[in-house]
Chain A
């Protein structure tokens, strides 16, 4: 079953002073598809366009041309409000810098998407506790992000992405801020979540090591996507 299907995705950036802008094509007709339960890695150097691809997939920005089908729904033309609601239901995000709310505890950070969904407190507490237990965070539930190690912070970030049970997880350099030992922990966690819950992962990375856990691998090169053998 196709979870994501991208066809002829094109995007151009305007760079330079107003009136004297230069057009720089970032995505030059990207085509790819992701099946349910797959881990797909998109590797590439900085500036290759891989982050732009992720942002367009997530609905943070709109593409100029092309179509994106996510879980059977065309998302390329959704409004900002529709896109936010769709994101909340379909995607979980794992960021390089964890992007946790500094004023909230680990528990509250994980709880946040449930609050956005308007779920009642009792139900939220139950769900968060269960998940924290699963990703071994129960002991640090009341800790603030600055009281957590990098690995723990990324676990919180992953738990926050998982809490709404989204079918797809988008990870942007998920181990970029971690040491190699912690990196392995996180990659193992991603693999086990994929196996146990059948979650679909799209991992954007420049790290070839990270890409080794993917079932399929694409290489982004100068705005074009090329499939590689895993």
Chain B
């Protein structure tokens, strides 16, 4: 029998029992949609947490512990490892940078780094360029915002008190210097964190670049960054206070950067082999992925139970179909239809139910997922008052193509299996008994 004729045969029978087939398809749809939506929560949470980790840390960064300072040889050796983009030494000055500009001032952290390496790691700036001259600096995205005068300080204080009374927090974003700071000259002194230590003399610097906005809304970056060439001068200034010991002036932090996320693991392995104590956020991701893999398998398993319940419906429908058509099957066999063909016709019918049910389920699941992601944050925000929910940072449900594939395979597979026994039963029908059935 030609495949098209087989399809015609199956659709003809489905049309004859529209309501029963519809109800069975509905059950299959509900089972499959439940499976997809349930598992999508696992995928959604994993995605949210993954994004959280990735936005917090640069994925290609490998932190090194236990070495106060790398020697030139060590840096050379590490840079020699395949796929290592750069080794960045960031020196944090053990003093606050007190910046002054047009009657405004602010205190922030001060870091010194090789600007070439720094540029390689941080990439594009929000504004301006990286320093090329000794007195040029880069500031954090919120530096201008934190530059306030006394009047603004009072306003911020009042707004903060008011916000606190309302149970919220005010970050001072409405005050501060509003124009571009690029090309502007500021004065900067150092404030050692030691009791009785005085501020150093003011030094003049020109702001040439503003860093990108931090990945989190709540992060305020008002740091000041300058080239390592400035380090001796900073040391001289700090020494002049007479309170800061030479050993306590700077803290170094070494970070290795890979050229891409995929190569982090190989670099980590090589560094561990060389005896370095290293850490990368990707290791955390790996552990998290294992956890979520187990969670997703668990959710899919629970969802499969719903599909199995739906399969009982398919089994019943197909058994009914075979029983009702006993005489027709008998005639087909009598005129020469092979048992294999009869089995195939019934398997096609149960597969049809599985396929249609799955297709509708996939469409419905995407709608539910979309609605859940749109509505749940609003509901949770209204219920808890947490702003985080309103910012759509959490994906409650995510349906990747892999989930669609897995759910479809389970759903259609289960439909075929539940149709198998009735289909076998159809092939076993006794022609004589079937033909004797009352018309």
Contact between A58 and B334, CB atoms less than 8 A apart = yes
Assuming the contacts A99-B327, A101-B331, A103-B16, asked whether A84 and B1 have C-beta atoms less than 8 A apart, the reply is: no
Does A112 touch B at the CB level, under 8 Å? yes
Contact between B331 and A99, CB atoms less than 8 A apart = yes
Shortest distance in angstroms between A167's beta carbon and chain B's nearest beta carbon?
14
Nearest neighbor of A81 in chain B, beta-carbon distance = B338
| Residue numbers in B under 8 Å from A120 (CB-CB) | 2
Does B5 touch A at the CB level, under 8 Å? yes
Does A32 touch B at the CB level, under 8 Å? no
| Residue numbers in B under 8 Å from A99 (CB-CB) | 327, 330-331, 334, 435
| Residue numbers in A under 8 Å from B47 (CB-CB) | none
Does B74 touch A at the CB level, under 8 Å? no
Contact between A112 and B338, CB atoms less than 8 A apart = no
Nearest neighbor of B338 in chain A, beta-carbon distance = A84
Does A19 touch B at the CB level, under 8 Å? no
Identify which of A81, A87, A97, A116 contacts B1 (C-beta below 8 A): A116
Contact between A84 and B336, CB atoms less than 8 A apart = yes
User: Of residues 408 to 439 in B, which have CB atoms within 8 Å of A's CB atoms?
Assistant: 430-432, 435, 439
> Mask for A147-183, Cβ within 8 A of B = 1, else 0?
0000000000000100000000000000000000000
Contact between A87 and B335, CB atoms less than 8 A apart = yes
Does A201 touch B at the CB level, under 8 Å? no
| Residue numbers in A under 8 Å from B439 (CB-CB) | 97, 102
Does A197 touch B at the CB level, under 8 Å? no
Identify which of B5, B328, B431 contacts A101 (C-beta below 8 A): B328
Does B339 touch A at the CB level, under 8 Å? yes
User: Of residues 77 to 133 in A, which have CB atoms within 8 Å of B's CB atoms?
Assistant: 80-81, 84-85, 87-89, 91, 93, 95, 97, 99-103, 112-113, 115-116, 118, 120
Contact between B334 and A103, CB atoms less than 8 A apart = no
Identify which of B334, B338, B432 contacts A61 (C-beta below 8 A): B432
Does B274 touch A at the CB level, under 8 Å? no
Q: How many A residues, CB 8 Å from partner?
A: 28
Shortest distance in angstroms between B8's beta carbon and chain A's nearest beta carbon?
9
Contact between A84 and B337, CB atoms less than 8 A apart = yes
Contact between A112 and B335, CB atoms less than 8 A apart = yes
Identify which of B328, B331, B336 contacts A87 (C-beta below 8 A): B336
> Mask for B334-354, Cβ within 8 A of A = 1, else 0?
111111110000000000000
| Residue numbers in B under 8 Å from A93 (CB-CB) | 334-335
Shortest distance in angstroms between A66's beta carbon and chain B's nearest beta carbon?
19
Contact between A81 and B432, CB atoms less than 8 A apart = no
A212 to B256, CA, bound (A): 105
Contact between B339 and A60, CB atoms less than 8 A apart = no
Does B12 touch A at the CB level, under 8 Å? yes
A80 to B340, CA, bound (A): 10
Assuming the contacts A87-B335, A93-B334, asked whether A115 and B432 have C-beta atoms less than 8 A apart, the reply is: no
| Residue numbers in A under 8 Å from B2 (CB-CB) | 115, 118, 120
| Residue numbers in B under 8 Å from A84 (CB-CB) | 333, 336-339
Contact between A81 and B340, CB atoms less than 8 A apart = yes
| Residue numbers in A under 8 Å from B431 (CB-CB) | 55, 60
Shortest distance in angstroms between B346's beta carbon and chain A's nearest beta carbon?
16
| Residue numbers in A under 8 Å from B13 (CB-CB) | 103
Shortest distance in angstroms between A27's beta carbon and chain B's nearest beta carbon?
15
List 17 other contacts, CB 8 Å, given A81-B338, A84-B337, A118-B2. Answer: A55-B432, A60-B333, A61-B432, A84-B333, A87-B335, A88-B335, A88-B336, A93-B335, A99-B327, A101-B331, A113-B335, A115-B1, A116-B1, A116-B332, A116-B335, A118-B1, A160-B335
Q: Which chain A residues have a beta carbon within 8 Å of chain B's beta carbons?
A: 51, 55, 58, 60-61, 80-81, 84-85, 87-89, 91, 93, 95, 97, 99-103, 112-113, 115-116, 118, 120, 160
What are 9 of the A-B contact pairs (CB < 8 Å)? A81-B338, A89-B336, A91-B336, A99-B327, A99-B334, A101-B328, A103-B16, A116-B336, A118-B2
Name the 8 nearest CB pairs between A and B, nearest first.
A88-B336, A84-B338, A87-B336, A60-B431, A115-B5, A99-B331, A113-B335, A81-B338
